[in-house]
Structure 1
Amino acid sequence: MSQGLDTQALLRLMAWLSPAFPIGGFAWSGGLERAVFDGLVKNAAGLTDWLSMLLRHGVLWNDAVLFAEAWRQSGNEAMLKEAAELGLALAGSAERFAETLSLGKAFVAAAAAWPDGVLERPPANVPFPVAVGAVAAGHGVHTEKGLAAYLHAAVSQSVSAGIRLGVAGQTEGVAILAGLEGLIAETAERASGTTLADLGGAAVQAEIASLRHETQHSRLFRS
C-alpha cells in the first residue's frame, strides 16, 4: 500500500471513530452508569479498573474478536452475517443489544459518505464491531491499527461518560487514557490473531450492571 493510501486510510479511521461521527455513541454508557450508581465505580482509579476489566475479560475483548473476524471476512457476505448474528446473540442485556445494534446500523449508514462495495455485505442488523471491522478492511485499514483505534474510541467514550457521571475530572480522564495505552495496544495485538473460538468473558459485575440499568429510573444514558 502506498504512503498516500496509508494516509487516506488513517484519515477515514479518524473520521469514523471520532466523537463527531453521527452514530450517537454519546448516549450510551454500557452499564457504567449503573456501576457508578451501585458504588462499583467511585473514582478515577475505579474507572481505570473497570475499563481494564472490560478490555481483558469483558465486552471490549469480545468486540475486538468480532472486529477481527469481520475484518478477515469483509468480502464474504455469508460469514459476515454469521459474525453479526453471533455478536448480537452475545449481548447480555436488552440495552446492550440495542446499543451495539444502534451503533452498528448508524455506522454503516454514515460510512456511506465513502462509497464502497463493502457497505453492501454486512446484514441489515449488524453489531457495531462487525460493522467497523468490515468497513475498515474494505478501505485498506490494517487490522491491528484498526483494532487499536476502535478500542481507544470505546475507552474514550467510557471515560467521557465517567466524567459526566462525576467519578473523574477532565484531567483525570486524560490520565486514564494515557495509563491504558499499553493495555489497549496489547489487546489490539492479541485480538488481531484471534478467531471466533476466542470469544468469551468473565466480567460478571459488568453484565449485571448492564441488566440492572434497565430498571434505573433517573439516568443520563440509554445503557
Structure 2
Amino acid sequence: MSATYQLALQQLTDSALPTGAFAHSLGFESYIERGLVGDEVTFGTWLSAFVGQQLVYSDGLALRFLYEGVDVGLLDSVLTGQLLAREVREASLKMGGRLLEIGGEVFPSGELEVYRGLVREGGAMGHQPLAFGVIARSLKVPFDEALSAYMFATVTSLTQNAVRAIPLGQNAGQRVLRHAHDAVAAAVLDVTQLCWDDFGAVSPGLEISQMRHERQRARMFMS
C-alpha cells in the first residue's frame, strides 16, 4: 500500500500533470515589473515569503482542516471568500477544476465524487488545494506527506515559471528549489500549529501584488 500511494502522489505532483500551473505566477510577476524580483536571490526571497504566508495560511490550512474532517463545502466557501485577488481565485478554480477532472478519471473514489457533485450542482467552486486533498486522502496518503508534496509541487511550478519570466538559468532554478526545502519544512510545521482563526491571514503585500497583476501593462502569466 505504501508504494502504491507514493507512486500516485508522484503522479499527482508531477510538473507534467496538465492542470495549467505553467500559466500562473501567483503574484511574482508584479514584483518583476516593479524591479523587486530580478535574479536568483530576490526570487528566492519572494518564494520563501509566499510559502510562509500564502501556502501556510490558505492552502496549507485548507488541507489540514480537510484531513481533520471539516466539511469540504464549508472549506470551499471560506477559501472563495479569502482569496481576495480575482486572478488568484480564478487560478485556484481553473487548476482545481482540471485536478477534479483528472482525478475522476485516474483516481476515482466516493469522496472525490461527492466534491465533484457539489461543484457540478453549484454547491462548491472546486479549489485546487481541496481537490488535491480529497484525492490524496482517498488514496490514504498521510497528511504530512500530502502537505509537503503539495507545497513543493507549487514551489516547483513557480520556480519553473520564474526560469522563463525573469529569466533564470536552469541550474539557478535548481538551486532555488534546493534552498526552498527548509522553507517548505518550516511551513509544514507551522500549519500543524495554527488554528481556525489563522485561516486566510495572508500578508497584504502578497495580495496587493496579485491584484496589481490584473492591470499590469505587459505580462506572461494569467495571474
Q: What is the TM-score normalised by the length of structure 1?
A: 0.90
Q: 1:64 to 1:164 in 2, by over 3 A?
A: same
- Between Structure 1 and Structure 2, the one with more helix by share is 2
SS in 2 for 1:129: helix
Q: 2:133 matched to 1:141?
A: no
Within 2, Cα distance between the matches of 1:146 and 1:192?
Answer: 13
Unaligned runs of 5+ in 1: none
Determine the structure 2 residue equivalent to 1:115.
108
CA–CA distance in 2 between the matches of 1:60 and 1:106? 23
Q: Deviations over 1:184-204 (max 9, x none)?
A: 122123324544333143522
Tell whether the 8 Å contact from 1:71 to 1:143 is kept in structure 2 after alignment.
yes
Partner of 1:160: 160
Aligned to 2:59: 63
Task: Report the secondary structure of 1:96's partner residue.
Answer: helix
Equivalent residues of 1:68, 1:194 under 8 A apart:
no
Aligned to 1:94: 86
1:84 is matched with 76
Q: Is the 8 A contact 1:147 1:192 kept in 2?
A: no
**CA contact under 8 A between 1:144 and 1:192: conserved in structure 2?**
no
Give the distance between the partners of 1:58 and 1:21, measured in 2 at CA. Answer: 22
Query: 1 CA distance for matches of 2:103 and 2:194?
Result: 26
Superposed counterparts of 1:142-221, under 5 Å: 142-192=142-192, 194-221=194-221
Partner of 1:31: 27
- SS at 2:216's partner residue? coil
Normalised TM-score (structure 2): 0.90
Unaligned runs of 5+ in 2: 120-124
1:106 corresponds, among 98, 102, 109, to 98
What is the Cα deviation at residue 72 of structure 1?
2.4
Matched-pair contact (CA < 8 Å) for 2:56–2:187: no
Q: Distance in 1 between matches of 2:86 and 2:101?
A: 22
Letter matched to residue 39 of structure 1: G
Does the aligned pair in 2 maintain the 1:108–1:131 contact within 8 Å? yes
Q: What is the CA distance between 1:110 and its match in structure 2?
A: 0.4
Distance 1:197 1:151 in 2: 21
Which range is displaced more, 159-168 or 193-202? 193-202
**Over the residues paired in the alignment, what is the CA RMSD in angstroms?**
1.6
Alpha-carbon separation, structure 2, partners of 1:62 and 1:217: 28
SS in 2 for 1:40: coil
Aligned residues: 215
Q: Is the 8 A contact 1:34 1:212 kept in 2?
A: yes
Contact 1:88 1:101 in 2 (8 A): no
SS of aligned partner of 1:126: coil
